[in-house]
Every structure is written in structure tokens, then in C-alpha cells.
Amino acid sequence: MNTTARILDGKQISAVLRGEIKKDVDAFKQQTGSAPGLATILVGDNPASHTYVANKIKACQEVGMLSLHFPMPASTPIEELKKKIRELNADAKVHGILLQLPLPGNADSTPVLEIMDPGKDADGLHPYNLGQLFEYKSWAEMSSGKSPLSCTPHGVIQILLRSKIPIAGRRAVVVGRSKLVGKPVAMMLQALDATVTMCHSRTRDLDAVCREADILVAAIGQPRFVKASMVREGAVVIDVGINRDAAGKLCGDVDFEAVEPKASAITPVPGGVGPMTIAMLLFNTLQLAKKHVKS
């Protein structure tokens, strides 16, 4: 049994990435005389969403980007929200737009996201940009900056790449099929030549399927769902979940204490995928700003 699993430190990796982004932002400012601009929209007063947005604004400012924030009450009609999106589409100072999800009452965000200019989609969640994932034939093409990649899935990939985890030819199992994480991360892993299996609530013998994984990605939003019995010796485990258990303690989708001894490498919660999501948001905003200047 492996008792020294390598901790894939997303906080450390994201700090390096932010340093790279800051240098590029400084160069962009020198070249254009202006900063890449990110507009954030927060509808309602969800405490977790407030924290997420505050962290994104702070990260923006730390790398020298222009941050514009637009808080809106939970009672905001969808048409008014669409109007704000259209205004930001037309604002030359804004290169990236982030609509913090979920919307109040778990309202369908798709009609709002469809209004957004795909060329300003900082979160990579516009239907056009998600659809582009099916067009790319390789990771080189997918990561070329032609369209923004979803932040959390791209963060997962950057953790693997920057940690020099082999992907090509490996068996990858993704637990969860959401459009936010599961589906796009599966497409990205395929672009990197992994053989990918997607699992969900109807998967038969889930434990056995997960045990086939060289790389196991958990993204289902259930506290400590992935147990040691689901992980084979030496697997790389990426935990995308951010939950609170019955005692109110922050935890992921993986039972970290039980799984760590079996894994060759594992991301912690907190400090794993979470910091990478914000770093990739900054990365997308910068890429969109560069693309805007070229056009």
C-alpha cells in the first residue's frame, strides 16, 4: 500500500500560473495602454457566491487587470439581466464577462448565457464555446486560444500537465456528467489522448469501473462519495468537489483520508482544484483581451 501519495497542490500551481499571467498583463498594458477587463455579475445574496466573486475580484486586481463588478438583487427580472449582458458586450473596456452561477432559485442560466458575446465568455460556458470542444482534433488546437475553455475543467488539466502526470494512453474515469465539469473535462482528456469513461448515477457497478482508472476525476457534489474501494493502487485522483459534511467541515467528493494511502497522487480540498478555477478565469480574460486586440 502506498503511504506517500503526492499531494497535487493547486494553490502552489495557481500561484505560478498567476505570476505568468501578471507578466503577460504587464506586457499587454505596455503594448496597448490599457488593461484586460473582467466584468463580474452577481445576482442575489448567496453567501458562497459572494465569497467566490470577492476572490475573483481580488485575484483580478493582484495581476493588474481591470475589475468591474455588477451586483444585482435576487428579484432582478431575466430581461434586465439580459440587458446588462448586452451593455457589457458593447463595452470596449470589458474583454471578459463572468455571470456567477447558480442564479437565484436555480433558474436556467442558458437563455442568459446565450445573450453573451462568445468572444467575451470568460467562464467558457457559452453554448457556442462548449460546442467548439467537439470540433477540436487535438489538445494543441483546443488550447490554442481560439475559444475560451471552461475554467474548472481546464484547471484540472493544468494540474495534471504541470505536475507531469502522464495522460496519453491512460485510462481516465470521470465521475459526473455536468456541463460545468464532467462533460468538458472528458473532452479535454480525450484531446490529450486518454481513453475516457464517464460515470453517473445510472452506471452499473460504479466501484469496479472506477477501479479501472489510472486517472480518476470526481465531480458530483457529494461529500466523500469516492471511497478507497473505488480506487486502484497507484491511481491519480482529482477531486473537483467542494462540499460541507454533516459537521460543517469543508470536504471534497473523495474520502481523502481513506483514499490517499492508495493513490500515487491526489488533490486536497481545499487547496486543490479550487484555486486553479480562478487562475484559469484570469487566463481566459487575458486570452480574450489579446484576441480582441488582434481583431
Catalytic residues: 56, 100, 123
Q: Tell me if 210 sits within 8 A of 226, measured CB to CB.
A: yes
SS3 205: coil
- Picking from 259, 219, 226, 281, the residue whose alpha carbon sits closest to that of residue 7 is 259
Q: Tell me if 122 sits within 8 A of 148, measured CB to CB.
A: yes
Containing 283, the helix (H) or strand (E) segment is helix 273-294
Residue keyed to cell 458562497: 48
Please give the grid coordinates belonging to residue 129: 464555446
The Cβ-side half-sphere exposure at 150, using a 13 Å CA radius, reads: 24
Q: Tell me if 40 sits within 8 A of 57, measured CB to CB.
A: yes
User: How does DSSP assign 62-92, residue by residue?
Assistant: HTT-EEEEEEE-TT--HHHHHHHHHHHHT-T
Please give the grid coordinates belonging to residue 154: 481546464
Please give the grid coordinates belonging to residue 108: 436556467
Residue keyed to cell 486543490: 272
Q: How far apart are the C-alpha atoms of 49 and 57, rounded to whole Å?
A: 12
SS3 141: helix
